[in-house]
Amino acid sequence: MKYQGVILKLTKNKAIVSTDDFQCYYIKRKPTIYVGKEIEFTKQEIIQKRTVLIKPALSVACFLFVITCLLNFAGIINLNNILYNPKVFAYISVDINPSLEIEIDGTGNVLKLVPLNEDAKVLVSKLEVTKTNVSMAIDKIINEVKKSNAISDTEKDCVLISSTLNSKERDHNEEFQREKEKLDIIIDSLKDSIQKSSNSSVYIVHADMEEREAARTEGMSTGRYVLYNTYKDLESDLSFEEVKEANVNELIKSILDDESGNETPEEIPIKTSSPASTSTPTTPAASAPTPSSTLQPTSSPTSALTASPKSTPTSAPTASPKSTPTPTPTLTPTAKIAYSQFMRFESSNYRGYFIRVKSFSACISSYVEPIEDSMFKIVPGLADPSCISFESKNYPGYYLKHENFEVILKKYEDTDLYKEDATFKVVPGLADENMISFQSFNYPSRYIRHRDFDIYIEEIENDLGKKDSTYIGIKAE
């Protein structure tokens, strides 16, 4: 006698089969069977019979499974979504003026839209973007918002985007770095797509899962939450409620308004051709810069400036990512550092990776769009004119500085602490004297280095640290 049924469960050596009359049987497991497969089997293959009377709970499970299959065939439910639930790779919040969050998979396709305010609920009800690429989905969202006149067709509006990798990893291992790079590529492509397809200015911030959860607790998008925490010192009277309700254009433009807050320092010419000058730090004056003056890397002008720092950190620095590109010869000397010129800085051990700014944090990246994110104007050091400071080309008046030993881009503040944090001394490359390294002005035992693709100032104790803190200066045309 032959039976027909559906594989309900697999154990190590057996399979449970449910028949059309709601009987469940154990049969010997075979390599070709899997859960959900319809099979034929004979009485001789049955190992143990379990009827409805013997195992009521199991029979109910069989009954429900059969009903589910029938509903799937009828198109009422999607069995694929039940048996296979794709993992959320990342969360992307979008603020235009409606605020919503997009869950995406590892290929950048949309899994779910989550409205974060009342306007977004209406918007989400009009859209069907599941399994659509996130760039196309946001394009549809912007077009739908334009129809409601929430944003202008003619004026350039701001779109605030946040990206959060769905990971709570603390050690930033290799897998985390691969996933982070994948997300960065998706976001860069997304930014490029929005700028090309709509008359919008895209502002991107990055967050972790803790920040996302905190934002949800405060009832706002992750993008607004990160923006508030990044710039609350500049906008001291800004409250959570104001950030939550503010128009995105007004919120971003008020933060990036170069005319508000402190004045930008004017450049001064280098005082002398000798970079080893130990003159007392001065406030930048209004003298005209001398572009032809150059600042050469120094070879240990003081005891604090040595090719191999003597300080030993209390804890070993985290190792840089292992997926190092194929090494290339480093015999070509770095370009001379000259005031008032724009330069890019390439990693010595990750060739093709440049120091750049992304969402006002410094990192190294092989994909830089726009390229101006990796271009810096070399100006006399804000705390010491014999040193240098890095002024952003994209955001004049914003300088690279360290905060909590992380290197960020921040608007100029007329304080001694800001000037010292944004001042660096050019020294011969710690890994190769033909290149350059940058020593912190107020933490002379620390140097600018990359770790996990982000930029820090750290004490250097090994060869890997020396390579991570050595760069090639390239004049930007």
Condensed to tens digits (0 to 9), the pLDDT of residues 115-152 reads 888 888 888 888 887 778 888 888 888 888 877 765 55
On whether residue 402 sits in a domain, the answer given is yes
Residues 358 and 221 in one domain: no
* Mean pLDDT in residue range 316-339: 49
DSSP-derived 3-state class of residue 367: coil
Number of domains in the chain: 4
Residues 120 and 246 in one domain: yes
The alpha carbon of residue 234 and the mean position of all alpha carbons in its chain are separated, in whole angstroms, by 23
The Cα angle at residue 450 between residues 446 and 456, in degrees rounded to 5 = 45
Structure tokens at 166: 């769905």
Residues 59 and 191 in one domain: no
Residues 231 and 97 in one domain: yes
User: DSSP string spanning 274-302?
Assistant: -TT--PPP-----PPP-TT-EEPPPS-SS
Average pLDDT, the chain: 75
Residues 115 and 213 in one domain: yes
Residues 97 and 33 in one domain: no
Q: Residue 432 carries which side chain, given as an amino acid letter?
A: D
Residues 202 and 179 in one domain: yes
Pairing verdict, β 200-207 and 157-165: parallel
On whether residue 262 sits in a domain, the answer given is no
pLDDT at 466: 94
Structure tokens at 189: 């492509």
On whether residue 267 sits in a domain, the answer given is no
Residues 145 and 195 in one domain: yes
Residue 17 φ then ψ, to 5°? -115, 135
Q: Which of 251, 271, 290 is the last residue of a domain?
A: 251
Residues 120 and 33 in one domain: no
The count of other CB atoms within 10 Å of the CB of residue 367 is 13
pLDDT in tens, 263-300: 444 433 333 333 333 333 333 433 333 333 445 454 43
Q: Quick one: pLDDT band at residue 70, thresholds 50, 70, 90?
A: low
Structure tokens at 202: 């895209």
On whether residue 92 sits in a domain, the answer given is yes
Residues 444 and 345 in one domain: yes
On whether residue 281 sits in a domain, the answer given is no
The Cα angle at residue 446 between residues 411 and 401, in degrees rounded to 5 = 5
**pLDDT at residue 34 tops 60:** yes
90/380 Cα distance (integer angstroms): 41
Q: Quick one: pLDDT band at residue 423, thresholds 50, 70, 90?
A: very high
101/389 Cα distance (integer angstroms): 38
Domain of residue 16 covers: 1-43
Residues 79 and 92 in one domain: no
Q: Residue 55 carries which side chain, given as an amino acid letter?
A: K
Residues 58 and 38 in one domain: no
Q: Prior bond to 370 cis, omega within 30?
A: yes
The count of other CB atoms within 10 Å of the CB of residue 291 is 13
Structure tokens at 359: 């969402």
